[in-house]
């Protein structure tokens, strides 16, 4: 039994978390909490979840020793938990499968989700196709324009993508629209949230589904460390990037009781933590209520959410999961910032030195490991959660490098049969 038992029965992690939602959603949230409580420890549910993860996602994902990088830096051994190898290219699918399985058991044939960069939308559309569920994804109209490959992916998978034209036409507007839909259609609709945010039980439930990442590491690390002649069974440090915080909670949670392992979350410092252009809610934010829970948010004196910035769309969120606010407060986890430039440098480093193209989000975690490793001994180790692959980001990187890889005259003017709208 773990000594760390969070959240409490009302979904609080200390002063954070809880459930701030309109009265119309009280019943839906109550119903969801009851369903999750029922299936959380149900052997049949858990067995099906494991089966899905093994056969559809491809778990367990390997842990890879970045030997060349470690040798070059001359410090701690760096290991990468390869969530980038999952089906759909990131950790998000783990959580989406769990929630879709709950939706089926609750008799809800219609799924809604909101997405910023489109990664959560793609994962949701994927599982809806697999289970034959209706799928509606809300996306800010600005993001629809910026993320057209992911919009097309969702459409190929049979989802309806609804561009949201209100407000700044980005993620927070899509969130409001998804909430509105849920209120109106709650009897037959399940709302799949993509990170450890939202009202209770979402932060706990998403963490639990993602904890498979850290659980696998607990069994994978002893053998890998022994191969390098390292006496410790577990890494000295675990590092993960933090947007909403789900990949970080997934790898942190099984390590919380193992206090010999430092837990470090990496926020997007954008153009610098003091530039006003970043997404570092834990380091530069303050306590407030956002998306149904109390947490750290980026807000001005009047409590208005401020504009966020990051090179990686997946980290560009003005809040953070409430459990991270709590782990920071009790000192169990530390949170640091990595700038756009540092993330980009780490992206190129991993491409050239290890043959792995990482997501720009994950590149933030890699960048911090590259900084930390030289300050440690070669007999120590750092485990990085490589949350996703970088295929989706090569356009961004090419733009920043002034490269136009779509300029392929030889392919222009050709059409093929079989296109479908």
Minimum distance of ligand PLP from residue 229's CB (angstroms): 32
Q: Does 242 bind ligand PLP (CB under 6 A)?
A: yes
User: Active-site residue among 114, 142, 216, 323?
Assistant: 114
Contact 137, 124 (CB under 8 A): yes
- Cα–Cα distances in angstroms (integers) from residue 59 to residues 42, 51, 200, 277, 312, in the given order: 21, 9, 28, 37, 25
Strands 134-140 and 110-115: parallel
User: Active-site residue among 70, 81, 92, 362?
Assistant: 92
| One of 88, 99, 380, 387 touching ligand PLP (CB under 6 A) | 387
Q: Does 246 bind ligand PLP (CB under 6 A)?
A: yes
Q: Is 145 a catalytic residue?
A: no
Q: Which two tokens stand for residue 365?
A: 């975690």
Region from 237-245, 267-275, 329-337, 397-405 binding ligand PLP, contact rule CB under 6 A: 237-245
Question: x/- binding map, residues 295-334, to ligand PLP, per CB under 6 A?
Answer: -------------------xx-------------------
User: Active-site residue among 246, 281, 362, 387?
Assistant: 387
- Provide the Cα torsion 183, 189, 195, 200; round to 10°: 60
Q: Does 119 bind ligand PLP (CB under 6 A)?
A: yes
Minimum distance of ligand PLP from residue 54's CB (angstroms): 21
- Does residue 107 come out as left (phi exceeding 0), alpha (psi in the -120 to 50 range) or beta? left
Q: Would you give the distance in Å from CA 389 to the centre of its chain?
A: 12
Contact 97, 124 (CB under 8 A): no
Residue among 75 and 388 whose Cβ is closer to ligand PLP: 388
Q: Does 359 bind ligand PLP (CB under 6 A)?
A: yes
Residue among 95 and 380 whose Cβ is closer to ligand PLP: 95
Angle between helices 92-105 and 202-210 (to 10 degrees): 120
Contact 113, 137 (CB under 8 A): yes
Q: Is 172 a catalytic residue?
A: no
Q: Which two tokens stand for residue 297?
A: 């948010």
Write out the residues near ligand PLP by the rule CB under 6 A: 90, 92, 119, 195, 241-248, 314-315, 359, 361-362, 387-388
Which residues does the annotation mark as catalytic? 92, 114, 387
């Amino acid at each position: 039994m773990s000594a760390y038992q969070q959240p409490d029965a009302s979904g609080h992690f200390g002063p954070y978390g809880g459930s701030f939602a309109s009265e119309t959603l009280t019943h839906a949230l109550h119903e969801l909490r009851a369903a999750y409580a029922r299936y959380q420890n149900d052997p049949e549910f858990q067995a099906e979840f494991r089966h899905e993860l093994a056969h559809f996602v491809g778990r367990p994902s390997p842990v890879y020793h970045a030997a060349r990088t470690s040798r070059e830096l001359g410090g701690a051994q760096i290991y990468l938990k390869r969530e980038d190898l999952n089906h759909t290219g990131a950790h998000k699918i783990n959580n989406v499968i769990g929630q879709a399985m709950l939706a089926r058991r609750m008799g809800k044939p219609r799924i809604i989700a909101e997405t910023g960069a489109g990664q959560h939308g793609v994962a949701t559309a994927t599982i809806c196709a697999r289970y034959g569920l209706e799928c509606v994804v809300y996306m800010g109209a600005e993001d629809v324009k910026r993320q057209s490959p992911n919009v097309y992916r969702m459409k190929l998978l049979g989802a309806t993508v609804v561009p949201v034209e209100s407000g700044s036409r980005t993620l927070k507007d899509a969130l409001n629209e998804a909430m509105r839909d849920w209120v109106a259609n709650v009897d037959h609709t399940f709302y799949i949230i993509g990170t450890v945010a939202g009202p209770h039980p979402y932060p706990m439930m998403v963490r639990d589904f993602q904890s498979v990442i850290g659980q696998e590491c607990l069994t994978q690390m002893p053998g890998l460390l022994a191969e390098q002649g390292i006496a410790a069974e577990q890494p000295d440090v675990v590092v993960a990037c933090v947007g909403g915080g789900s990949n970080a909670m997934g790898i942190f949670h099984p390590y919380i009781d193992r206090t010999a392992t430092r837990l470090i979350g990496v926020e997007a410092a954008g153009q610098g933590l003091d530039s006003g252009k970043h997404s570092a809610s834990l380091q530069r934010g303050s306590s407030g209520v956002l998306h149904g829970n109390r947490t750290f948010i980026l807000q001005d004196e009047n409590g208005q959410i401020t504009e966020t910035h990051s090179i990686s769309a997946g980290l560009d969120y003005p809040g953070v999961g409430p459990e991270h606010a709590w782990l920071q407060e009790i000192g169990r986890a530390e949170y640091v910032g990595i700038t756009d430039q540092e993330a980009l440098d780490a992206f190129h480093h991993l491409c050239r030195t290890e043959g792995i193209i990482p997501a720009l989000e994950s590149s933030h975690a890699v960048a911090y490991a590259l900084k930390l490793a030289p300050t440690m001994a070669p007999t120590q180790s750092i485990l990085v959660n490589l949350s996703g692959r970088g295929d989706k980001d090569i356009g961004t990187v090419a733009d920043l490098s002034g490269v136009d890889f779509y300029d392929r005259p030889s392919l222009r003017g050709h059409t093929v049969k079989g296109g479908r709208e």
